[in-house]
Amino acid sequence: MKLGTDLGFRLSICAIAALLLLAIAAPCIAPHDPERAQPELRLKDPCGAYPLGTDHLGRCIFSRVVFGIRISLFIGLVVVLISASIGMILGEAAGYYGGILDEAIMRLVDAFLSFPSIFLALAVIGFLGSGLTNLMLSLILVEWTGYARLVRSEVLSLQGKEFLEAARSLGASDLCIMSRHILPNILPSLLVMATLSVGYAILGAASLSFLGLGVQPPTPEWGSMMNDARPFIRSHPLMMIFPGTAITITVLAFHLLGDGIRKKLNPRSEWEKQLRF
């Protein structure tokens, strides 16, 4: 299967590119201050001045959705970058050195995995308090274990390979072997997982904010906007629909991107999957 002919992949590229452009140009695109309350304009229907209407405080929904792209992408990318880095370092060390270090790291991973993800995130936020920083920290603590397990598995599959033995025989240090010989071979799998995880991180952040435990008002964040819209879901459903649609499109775009990359990097598995059906 060729990547260029994958419609889902191409659509995901277009969607993510559009989201990035909107995030960068948000101050120019948004017609109003997303945090400015105008009680006299509350719950206004869509019109020329307010393309998506206003919320219960008279804030422009369109402006808040557009600015919400910034915070959502920031959360997703930062959480994935940090959790992937932590998981990669610990997973590579566990797989490469083995022994007691491997056992200790894997038991730590098992300890984190013994809690459902949402409960672990809720526990962290409950202990540290709500807010953007604590929200991202809770998501990082949930996400890093997957990277550690993946990287350890990849490193174990490379142990005993001739190119590693050749590097050792030439006197290469452990750090050199892990960074120059092992890391390039595990990056494709990391890339696929990281791409998929961006969408999961954005969805997780929106879920916690919807519960009132994440990003706090008046910051324009999609989950927080949906939480504000709950009392008005029957009388003004657009308040809920627009941020919900933004979450759906963003998460789906990153999922399709990751799936497309996976198919390209491992076309044989996709071919075998099609044969089974």
The verdict on residue 256 lying in a domain is yes
Instruction: Show the domain range for 70.
Output: 3-30+51-276
Residues 6+ away with beta carbon under 8 Å from 122: 138, 208, 213
The verdict on residue 37 lying in a domain is no
The answer to whether 243 and 55 have CB atoms below 8 angstroms apart is: no
Tens of pLDDT, residue by residue over 8-39, are: 889 999 999 999 999 999 999 999 999 999 99
Q: Which of 167, 165, 194 lies closest to 180 in space, CA to CA?
A: 167
Q: Locate tokens 């219960």: which residue?
A: 56
Q: Which H/E stretch holds residue 269?
A: helix 267-276
Task: Give bridge partners of residue 54 from the DSSP assignment.
Answer: 60
Angle, helix 238-265 to helix 222-229, in steps of 10 degrees: 150
Looking at the 3D structure of the chain, how many domains does it have? 1
The verdict on residue 107 lying in a domain is yes
- The DSSP secondary-structure symbol of 46 reads P
Tens of pLDDT, residue by residue over 104-161, are: 999 999 999 998 888 899 999 989 998 999 999 999 999 999 999 999 999 999 888 8
Tens of pLDDT, residue by residue over 197-238, are: 999 999 999 999 999 999 988 999 999 999 999 999 999 999
Predicted pLDDT at 262: 86
Q: Which of 38, 15, 18 lies closest to 26 in space, CA to CA?
A: 18
The verdict on residue 149 lying in a domain is yes
- List the CATH number of the domain containing 61: 1.10.3720.10
The verdict on residue 42 lying in a domain is no
Q: Global pTM?
A: 0.89
The answer to whether 239 and 169 have CB atoms below 8 angstroms apart is: no
User: Can you tell me the distance from the alpha carbon of 145 to that of 200, in angstroms, rounded to the nearest whole number?
Assistant: 14
Predicted pLDDT at 274: 37
The verdict on residue 119 lying in a domain is yes
- The DSSP secondary-structure symbol of 57 reads T
The verdict on residue 41 lying in a domain is no
User: Can you tell me the distance from the alpha carbon of 74 to that of 26, in angstroms, rounded to the nearest whole number?
Assistant: 14
The verdict on residue 35 lying in a domain is no
